[in-house]
Chain A
Amino acid sequence: MRMVQPDFKIVIDQERCRRCKRCVFNCGFGALEFRDRVVPKPENCAGCQRCVCFCPEQAISVELNPLAFRPNDNWAPWHIKAIYRQAEDGGILLTGMGNDKPYFNILDHLLLDACQVTNPSIDPLREPMELRTYLGSRPERLEFENNGKLRLKTSYPSLLKVEVPILFAPMSYGSISYNAFHALCLASKELETLMFTGEGGLPEELYPYGDHIIIQVASGRFGVSAEYLNVGVGTQIKIGQGAKPGIGGHLPGEKIPKHISETRMIPEGTDALSPAPHHDIYSIEDLRMLIYALKEATGYKPVCVKIAAVHNVASIAAGVLRAGADQIYLDGFRGGTGAAPFITRDHIGLPIEIAVAVVDQRLREEGIRHLGTIIAAGSVRCSADAVKLIALGADAVAIGTASLLAMGCHLCQKCHTGNCSWGIATQRPELVRRLDPEWASERLVNLVRGWAYEIKEVMGAMGINAIESLRGNRERLRGLGLDSETLKIIGVKPAGAAMG
């Protein structure tokens, strides 16, 4: 007897199938077998569509398995299935990727402005459009020397230059494969942008990409050495993650083969536990201590602090910048993850659009907006999301899930199983091998270039020729169908309200 029924049905058109077994070979989950013909094992199917994409005869379709639960608006099928699974094993239910629950998305209710007649739009095909963004802390005031010739006297802290305000979000080597990680490095270099390593360290072979990498230090200190700290252009302290605010990371021993072990500098096959609390950080003062330890160890390279968007995010962000961070990375509650409990992924935190708006507003009110850059992440699904987040106050956005999708991910949410058929969220060598870093990086570059063109288009439509002029420019946003309290919190006028 089986209480938990498969989520998907695999339908094979046996007439079209020419028994090439490509689907069987491609499935990382063991959902297809070959016994004189292809036989589905739907109980293993993750719905990742790898077999569908690789069938030369288009003979496979994966369909939702329509379970005939009696319709019940209170008990959704996923509630029922979750209970069956937990009643079997009695543990914390795990999942991968971001929050998939139907929460109201404010970004989908924000409209962008455009120019007509009186304030002409700009044609990005003919005129220069500036997407270049500098990340980091700015001085409070500039002082000049005047010896006949004006010279800047204020020493300017080091800023990081990106040619496009789209960065690659931290996804650790370990949670994703070497080839996926390598592809991100290649794409960051090509696009002249930055990527974050996540907590898993940086494989030595990828040190040459250091000029495009911000390395991470988190509570587990995996792979953190004096050399590693100096390879990147900056360091990131991870306090929290949007998909699982307040809980830590846990890479199981099965996912720590030789090369991961070398990069993380821990023995093969041991669990890599990265608890949520840094046991040396219990206050803003303690955070300052680590920020400056990293600055001392790196010759004062910029430090980014990553926090999850939680209810008190504005004052936390203000504290983080006052502690000496040069960048604050905000991760919203729809952000992805390699593995998180359902309960935290789906129920904790704030949407990124609210977090960005309230943090930007708070920093301005305190007169410390210049102290650091805001990087927004947590399900940036399209260039419009990026534009809206920048208009709400972000300096740049970071994409994680979107970059995985570009590399082939089909959002099957099974990252935590390590069986990713697409060679992304896996360490199984036979699966990793199938992801070609060059191919994947080309797709990443294409995606970001496409988004960059789109951003330029809408900037042109708004009559803006530098992304800087869009930052925090809430006047160019209007809310449609948002309640007045929400509009007040994010500082946006309702649709129909005139300028000024």
Chain B
Amino acid sequence: MAELIESQMGNLICQREENRVVLDCYGVHYQELNARVRDLAKLGYKTIELKNVNGQRYIGTGIASKDLKIRVFGTAGNDLSAFMDGPMVEVFGNAQDAVSNTMNSGKVIIYGDAGDVIGYGMRGGKLFIKGRAGYRVGIHMKAYGNQVPVVVVGGTVRDFLGEYMAGGILVVLGLEKEPGEKLVGNWVGTGMHGGIIYVREEPERHQLGKEVGITDKIEPKEMETLGAIVQEYCADFSVNFEELITSSFFKLFPVSTRPYKKLYVY
């Protein structure tokens, strides 16, 4: 098997031991890189470490495997873990746009910032970001059956958070925040018709879409769910949980599950 892998690896230098393999991605095109990652996953490697990643796209995209771990060192390119079903992806650096696009299950942890349109159409799994995220976070997220997608952003987010949100949970913590910086941008939850957004700072009414309601009353059961999510987040990023969970959270929710019901004449 070793020779086989060696011969397939082309210009990727690799070290391996047991179930773990390390690839040097310096200057490697994403197409080759991802083909190798898929080959290695098929060969049964459980941990794949990618060194010197510099914007290569589609890492983890379309991979269905419950116990695979992909560790990315560097900057992960667009569409990290898109359509992914099961694996755990850690990024020791920043990630670019469209992380977890239409992800079905699995977990993505980013020890840095993430770009725009993250969690688009995400149906399950978790996406934890230590730092900030950009515009259009969690658009069209949806829950189905037991699958409840969760996105937690440690820093702040920009406009269009949770637009057209149909399910799942979005949490924006604002742990990293400049003085005067807003936690969320404008047009929050426009077209929202399902799911919940938790924020740790009360947005002004004009920042919210007309389909969104706001309250600081969080039901005990919801608090339990939120607590478990935040606890997991704190464990991943070594943040003090007690301090965080006792701070005030606001819940943004859809005022109607059918916002456009009365739009049409039949």
Does B64 interact with chain A (Cβ within 8 Å)? Answer: yes
Q: Does A293 contact B101, Cβ atoms closer than 8 Å?
A: yes
Residue of chain A at shortest CB distance from B78: A289
Kindly state the separation between the CA atoms of A93 and B265 in the bound complex, as whole angstroms.
5
Q: Does A92 contact B102, Cβ atoms closer than 8 Å?
A: no
> A229-B62, A296-B62 given as contacts; is B140 within 8 A of A92 (CB)?
no
> A266-B166, A275-B164, A293-B79 given as contacts; is B264 within 8 A of A280 (CB)?
no
Q: Does B101 contact A92, Cβ atoms closer than 8 Å?
A: no
> A226-B64, A293-B61, A298-B62 given as contacts; is B140 within 8 A of A271 (CB)?
no
Residues on A with C-beta less than 8 A from B259 are: 271
* Option from B34, B83, B143, B263 in Cβ contact (under 8 Å) with A224: B83
Residues on A with C-beta less than 8 A from B194 are: 267, 270
Kindly state the separation between the CA atoms of A91 and B263 in the bound complex, as whole angstroms.
5
Total B residues in contact with A, Cβ cutoff 8 Å: 48
Q: Does A266 contact B144, Cβ atoms closer than 8 Å?
A: yes
Residues on A with C-beta less than 8 A from B31 are: 296
Q: Does B62 contact A271, Cβ atoms closer than 8 Å?
A: no
Q: Does A271 contact B83, Cβ atoms closer than 8 Å?
A: no
Kindly state the separation between the CA atoms of A267 and B79 in the bound complex, as whole angstroms.
26
Q: Does B62 contact A280, Cβ atoms closer than 8 Å?
A: no
Q: Does B57 contact A289, Cβ atoms closer than 8 Å?
A: yes
* Option from B85, B98, B140, B257 in Cβ contact (under 8 Å) with A219: B140
Q: Does A253 contact B258, Cβ atoms closer than 8 Å?
A: yes
Does B114 interact with chain A (Cβ within 8 Å)? Answer: no
* Option from A85, A227, A296 in Cβ contact (under 8 Å) with B61: A296
Does A250 interact with chain B (Cβ within 8 Å)? Answer: yes
Residues on B with C-beta less than 8 A from A265 are: 123, 142, 144
Does B226 interact with chain A (Cβ within 8 Å)? Answer: no
> A229-B83, A293-B101 given as contacts; is B264 within 8 A of A92 (CB)?
yes
> A273-B166, A293-B61, A293-B83 given as contacts; is B140 within 8 A of A224 (CB)?
no
Q: Does A297 contact B193, Cβ atoms closer than 8 Å?
A: no
Q: In A252-297, which residues have CB < 8 Å from any B CB?
A: 252-253, 261, 265-267, 270-271, 273, 275, 279-280, 289, 292-293, 296-297
Residues on A with C-beta less than 8 A from B167 are: 266-267
Residue of chain B at shortest CB distance from A228: B83
Residues on B with C-beta less than 8 A from A443 are: none
Q: Does A271 contact B260, Cβ atoms closer than 8 Å?
A: yes
Residues on B with C-beta less than 8 A from A298 are: 62
Does B139 interact with chain A (Cβ within 8 Å)? Answer: yes
Kindly state the separation between the CA atoms of A270 and B264 in the bound complex, as whole angstroms.
17
* Option from B62, B78, B266 in Cβ contact (under 8 Å) with A226: B62
> A270-B194, A279-B140 given as contacts; is B83 within 8 A of A226 (CB)?
yes
Q: Smallest CB–CB gap between B151 and chain A, Å?
A: 15
Q: Does A252 contact B261, Cβ atoms closer than 8 Å?
A: yes
Can you report 23 A-B residue pairs in the complex whose CB atoms are below 8 A from each other?
A86-B265, A90-B265, A92-B264, A217-B102, A219-B140, A221-B121, A252-B261, A266-B142, A267-B143, A270-B166, A271-B193, A273-B166, A280-B117, A289-B78, A292-B57, A293-B57, A293-B58, A293-B61, A293-B82, A296-B34, A296-B82, A297-B61, A297-B82
Residues of B within 8 A of A (CB): 30-31, 34, 57-58, 61-64, 78-79, 82-85, 97-98, 101-102, 104, 117, 120-121, 123, 136, 139-140, 142-144, 160, 163-164, 166-167, 191, 193-194, 257-266
Q: A253-B257, A261-B144, A292-B58 known; 5 other A-B pairs, CB under 8 Å?
A: A88-B265, A265-B142, A267-B143, A270-B193, A289-B78
